[in-house]
Structure formats: C-alpha cells, structure tokens
Structure 1
C-alpha cells in the first residue's frame, strides 16, 4: 500500500491498468508536486575521489544500472546512483534504524522480485516498520496523455517509450504489496523533464544520493573515479546478465551489507559479445548512441566513452575466466580513507 502525507492511495485493481491510473493521480498529488519542486531546488552534489568534493572522507556505495544495494548507516554515509535516463531510481528506507536500499530499475520485468530483494534486509515481521520511499528518474519519453487515452486492451508494454511503463509497474507493485510505503518523493516523468529549444525532452536529473543518517535525498552526479569499485567489470556484468537465464527477473547483487564490502559474482561473456564489441568499437559516436541507447538525445557526455571502455576490455579479455579465475568472485574491502581495495 502507498501512503502520501498520511493518506492511503487507492490502488486500481484492474489488471489492464497496471498501475497507470494510480501513477497519473500521484503525478498530480499536491504533496508530491511540492516535494518534487523542493527536490529540484536542491543544489547538485558532485562525487569524486580525485577531487576534494568530499573533504569529510564520506563513505558511499555506488549502484549501477540493474543493481541494488542495501546499506547500514553505521558503515555508509551515502548511497547513490546516476547515468539514469529512462531508468528510475527507487529508494526504500527503514525510518527507525536508517537501513536504506536503493535500486537502479531499468525494466518492468525486474520490479516484483527486485522489491522483494530490497525489502529482505529492511523489514522485520515482528516489528512495525515505517518505510520511506523515493522515486527519482525517468522522463517524458512518452506523454501521460497518451497513456490516459489508452484502450482497455492495452497494457504498459504497449505504450511508447520506456519511462512511463517502468514507473507504472513500480507504482502497481508498491500498491499491491502488504507493506505500507510512505511515498516522500516522486520526481519522475513530467516532474523530471526539461526541453531544449527544439522541443526535445531530456531528464533534469540523472542521479541522486541518499544521506543514510537523515534520509535526506539530494540530486547528485558521480565521475568515473567515484563509480567504484570494479567499474568496467560491473558494467559488463549488467550487459552479460541480459543473456543469463539464471537472473530470472532479479536485480544484480554486488554489495555485502553486513560486511561493507563488494562481492562481484562471476559472469560469463561469450565470443558473440566479443565479436559485437569488435564491430561496434569502429562506429562513430553518433552511430553508437543511436544503436545502443534507449534515449540517444538524453545521454550524458560520457555514455559513449563508457561503452568503448567496456568493449576494449572485452576485446582484450575475450574469455571471462581471465577476469574470474577458477570461477571465483572479485571481492573488494573498504579502505581506511573510504575507498576500496581488492582482496
């Protein structure tokens, strides 16, 4: 169940609505509209290891696309993500102890099982839990008017675009679960959309962080040095997981909550992916954008560079066992200065 400003939100039970009607009402909710405006007024926080952007030696956990992490405020000051265009960041925080779970959702197919993964370390069946929720990301790559004018036979998968179907599925899943979710922020779709002089839409924010101690949410961006540890391998793991039958609608797990460390499980990539990388690396930047992005006009400036670095890694390491010798995970422990070192 979703609660906004103390008021339960009625869920639409029709299987054809798939959360669309509820989402449309949330987009117009005065409390959430005000919260979105307040969020947009907050200065963006920039994270970098190479610069003095975090002089207090803050410890953070970075979440890539398709990943999630549940963090303990005793170990972690911030948990965040960025590089989201049509993706949506979902935060669920246990108000009583500050335990915070953040997921970078990229498909309606991972929402149901992903929610269960996120809640597994947040909810104690024997204790009443207040769950704070924030939704940030996505933009108007499909008009809500289009969704509102659907026929009864349409589902979210029939709508154009990516952001709206994903947001609708998240809302539908939150509404139908037994837990009570206190929705604090819903800066998605139209609330996270700006347009250039030609009318092209793109997100206002591509990233954010949660301060675990207070639960405050800030717009944020991360540079290459702060998207760690094991940036390239984790990026490749996201791509390789799309062909992994064992993933089965789950978010990718990388972070060990109880020990404040990363465990990157082995992932297989094939010679087919090596051949794809060898081909795509020779295309122009504009061709790469059009072929590899769900929103070519809205991507960040380092999108193509990140892809090229992944492809170069695959070309240099065509066999996945070179990266995961004896099929063992790659483990990274926290250092005294808040960084990471491989065990």
Structure 2
C-alpha cells in the first residue's frame, strides 16, 4: 500500500466501474498531483545534478567512496555498511526505482524498462530489503520516465484513458503495483512524467534529469549522471546482456541479477545470445549517427550527448515484425532486438560470438572491489 505525507493513500478509483488500466491511470494522476509530491518534485528539480566520474582530473567524485552502478533492467540491493552510494542513469522513458528500509538502511535500486518486469522485479528488490519484516516502513523514489506524449491530449475513452508512449504505461504499472502490495511504501519522490519534462531549443520534450544517486547512510537522493569511468564494472558485457535477455527465456519477466549484497561483489549472472544477433553486426555497420539515434532510442530527441558514442561501442537495434501489439511487447519499441558494434569496437562480439565464451559453463562473471575503489575480475 502507498503512503504520502505519512498518510495512507486511498485509491478512490477502485470503487468506480473503471477498467484496470483506467484505475492505474487515475491512481498515478492522483498521486502525482498530491501537494506533498508536487512540493517534493519542485525541490528535486532545483537540485544540482551530480556528475559521477572517476577521471583523475575530476575532483567532484572520489573512488574512496564506494559506489554501485546499475544498468538498464538490472537491480541491486546494497548494505550501507559496505556501499556509500548507489545509482543509475540513462533513464529517459525508463524509470530508476529506489526502495529503502528506513530502519536498516538497506537500499534497493532498479532500472525498470517495461511494465512486464514490474511485478517480479519489485519482488526481487524487496527480498533482502524487508529482511523478513513485512511491516517495515519503506521509502520510495522514482526518477526518469519523462512525458514522451501529451498525456492531457492522449487519445482514448474516458478521463483516465491510457495514452500511447512508453513512460506513462510503465509509471502506471509501478504505482499500481506498489498500491496493491501489502508492504508499506512511503512515496517520497515521483520525479517522472510532467514533473520531469522540459522543452529543448527545438521545442522537443525531454527529461530534466535521467538519473539518480542515493546516499545509503542518509537515504538522501540527488539527480545524477555517470560516464564510462563510473558505469562499471564490465560495461560492454552488461550492455550486451540487457538486449540478449529478451531472447533468453530464463530471464522472462525478471530483473537481471548483477550484484551480491553480502559480499559487495558484482556477480554478473549469465545470459545467452544467439548467432542471429552476430550476423546482423555485419549488415548494420553502415548506419549513420542519425540512423542509430532514430532506430535505437524510444526518445531520440532526449538522449544525452554520449548516447550514440555508447551505442557505437555496443548498439541495441530493434526490428519490427508487426505481429505483436504494444501491450505484448511492453516497453520495447519493437519486438526483436539486435546487437550492433561498429568497426571501431566490433571487438567483443566478433571475438566472442558464442555466449559460452563469455560465461563458460554458464558461470557468472565475478568482480571484487579493490582498495582504491575500482573493480577487478576474479
């Protein structure tokens, strides 16, 4: 169940004869318009974004602090005794979800990218956060999911029609699921949709912030961005794993296991990719930057300056068969995902076209933290 301002939030729409999707839309709109949430969003909007970088020339961040970074479709539960900060970014139409146990400080962060992974994903996040105390008081923050369509003018029937787009269905599912569960979720930050939307110089809507960083000791949350020095360890393999997980049935509906809470190690669970994906590398290497942006993003005008460069190292391409509906495909723009690495960084997939070379005997890739705050492969 959801609490706002310390008071249980009553879902009035549940007593009306609305469809399930309409009830979810109504609940989301009502929670977002609550004065406490509006005030919190205004305060968050005025915070300075923290740039997390471990470049030697960058004095803003320090590897003396212990960080955990989460990629798309991953999650991690961190212990404040072992980790100082945990965060994620690149969430434009995705949502960074934070759940923190007020008493223990155990903090779970997930990068949600589809309504299809919300139910199981939240259960995964809560397993270690609750610590067998289902009555624990849990603080919740959401950042990302900008308004990629005009919700007020969305097509549909009724006041709470579900608009097209990617952010709104995901945000609806998240809030609706929290409300239906028995745990006590105290919504502190809902910096999503209209609260997290601005116009760029070409009058395109885009997110104000697409990432967040949580101080595990205090629970304080800041808008944040990361770069190649702080999106670690094992960035290339973890990005490959995000897309290949759609074809690996063992990960259906789940967040990707990435980090071990008890040992403070990254244990990157194995994921299979097919030779079909490798074949497309050769066919797609002529794409221009503009074509990459158009084909690879659900929000081309909203991506950060390093988006295309990251995809030049590992690009997730999607090809439509036209056979699945938006509901069936969830957050995915289209239903089949392909990997593309340009000529400058084909290296990894071409060197290891068989997934078993990356995950021998289907064993995870393990990284431990070094004394200087970096990571080394075990």
The one of 73, 77, 82 equivalent to 2:89 is: 82
Match of 2:354 in 1: 319
Is residue 78–residue 106 contact of structure 2 (8 Å, CA) maintained in 1? yes
Per-residue deviation, 1:248: 2.0
Distance 1:155 1:243 in 2: 32
Q: Corresponding residue for 1:151?
A: 157
- For residues 249-292 of structure 1, give each alpha carbon's deviation from its aligned partner in whole angstroms, at most 9, with x where no partner exists: 01111000010001112221111111222222320010111111
Give 5+ residue unaligned stretches, structure 2: 315-340
Measure, in 1, the Cα distance between the counterparts of 2:36 and 2:191: 12
Q: CA deviation at 1:155?
A: 7.2
Aligned equivalents of 2:30, 2:109: Cα separation in 1: 24
Q: Kindly report the root-mean-square deviation, in angstroms, between the aligned alpha carbons of the 2 structures.
A: 1.8
Note the alpha carbon deviations across 1:214-263, whole angstroms, 9 max, x for none: 00000111110110010000000000001111112011110000100011
User: How far is 1:56 from its partner?
Assistant: 6.8
What is residue 27 of structure 2 aligned with on the other side? 22
Give, in whole Å, the separation in 2 of the partners of 1:56 and 1:114. 30
Q: Residue 104 of structure 2 aligns to a residue in which SS?
A: coil
2:127 alignment partner in structure 1: 120
**Per-residue deviation at 1:326?**
3.2
Residue in 2 that maps onto 1:214: 218
User: What are the within-5 Å matches in structure 2 for residues 221-260 of structure 1?
Assistant: 221-260=225-264
Deviations 1:72-111 (A, max 9, x none): 0000000000111100111000000110000100000000
Matched, 1:137 2:144: yes
Q: Is the 8 A contact 2:246 2:252 kept in 1?
A: no
Distance 1:120 1:126 in 2: 10
2:320 maps to 1:285:
no
Structure 2: how far apart are the matches of 1:164 and 1:314? 34
Verify the 8 A CA contact 1:208 1:220 in the aligned structure 2: yes
Does the Cα contact within 8 Å between 2:25 and 2:161 map onto a contact in 1?
Answer: no
Check whether the contact 1:18–1:169 (CA below 8 A) recurs between aligned residues: no
Contact 1:61 1:79 (8 Å CA) reproduced: yes
Distance in 1 (CA, whole Å) between partners of 2:134 and 2:73 is: 30
Paired position in structure 1 for 2:64: 57
Q: Distance in 2 between matches of 1:254 and 1:318?
A: 22
8 Å Cα contact 1:280-1:288 kept in structure 2: no
Partner of 2:106: 99
Q: Give the 3-state SS of the residue equivalent to 1:19 in structure 2.
A: helix
Judge conservation of contact 1:82–1:220 (CA < 8 Å) in 2: yes
Contact 1:254 1:263 in 2 (8 A): yes
Does structure 2 conserve the Cα–Cα contact (< 8 Å) formed by 1:281 and 1:308?
Answer: no
Secondary structure at the residue paired with 1:34? helix
Go from structure 1 to structure 2 and tell me whether the alpha carbon gap of 1:296 and 1:228 turns closer, same or farther (over 3 Å shift). Answer: same
Tell me the secondary structure at the aligned position of residue 242 of structure 1: helix
1:154 positional shift: 9.0
Q: TM-score, normalised by structure 2?
A: 0.86
Partner of residue 328 from structure 1, selected from 363, 367, 373: 363
* 4+ long deviations beyond 3 Å: 124-128, 152-156
Q: What count of residue pairs does the alignment treat as equivalent?
A: 340
| Rounded Cα–Cα distance in structure 2 between residues aligned with 1:289 and 1:185 | 30
Q: TM-score, normalised by structure 1?
A: 0.95
Displacement of 1:126 after TM fit?
4.5
Instruction: Specify every segment of 5 or more residues in structure 1 that has no aligned partner in the other structure, as ranges.
Output: none
Contact residue 31 and residue 37 of structure 2 kept, 8 A? yes
